[in-house]
Amino acid sequence: MTPEEMATCHARAFAGQGRAWSEQEFADLLESPHVFAIGDGCAFALGRAVADEAELLTIATDPAHRRKGLGRETLSAFEAGAVARGVTRAFLEVSDGNTGAIALYRAAGYAETGRRKGYYQTPDGREDALLMEKALG
């Protein structure tokens, strides 16, 4: 998957929810040997694995392909890719206003471990970031 495809999918997935990531931002992240991508133009996950931890940097599903289980499949593929890199724990942060993503993460076994007040800028103000993690392996 190219940075251009990622930026296009990300822009569609997060339309109206704040600033989507640019092609250059994806390209810069993918230059790191610790960053890996899973998926295609319909749905993808971008993660960073360092030592025994993986961070889910972003996950996106094109709205035209939602409600088909792609988010769940992509999250599972991210976890498998992390485990293949020696990871035993995954973590992420998500806007507390993103109820669909929170439901996905909880259903996959992620638990809330913290909160960052006012972390995300949104078109309507600011939202907290929920910190979540899961043991893998």
**Alpha helices per DSSP H over the chain:** 3-13, 23-30, 70-84, 99-107
pLDDT digits (tens, 9 = 90+) for 21-38: 999 999 999 999 999 999
d(CA 22, CA 15): 13
Count of alpha carbons within 13 angstroms of residue 5, beta-carbon side? 13
DSSP tag of 42? S
Please pick, among 105, 110, 120, 133, the residue that the annotation labels catalytic.
Answer: 105
Residue 134 vs residue 122, higher pLDDT: 134
Q: Which CATH number covers residue 25?
A: 3.40.630.30
Please pick, among 93, 110, 120, 127, the residue that the annotation labels catalytic.
Answer: 93
pLDDT at 101: 92
Banded pLDDT at 43 (limits 50, 70, 90): very high
Query: What's the domain range around 99?
Result: 3-135
pLDDT at 124: 80
Whether 53 is catalytic is no
Banded pLDDT at 108 (limits 50, 70, 90): very high
**pLDDT, average across residues 4-27:** 89
pLDDT digits (tens, 9 = 90+) for 55-101: 999 999 988 888 888 999 999 999 999 999 999 999 999 999 889 89
Q: How many domains does the chain have?
A: 1
Whether 119 is catalytic is no
pLDDT of residue 125 exceeding 80, the answer is yes
pLDDT at 121: 81
Q: What average pLDDT does the structure give for the chain?
A: 93
**To the nearest whole percent, how much of the chain has pLDDT over 70?**
99
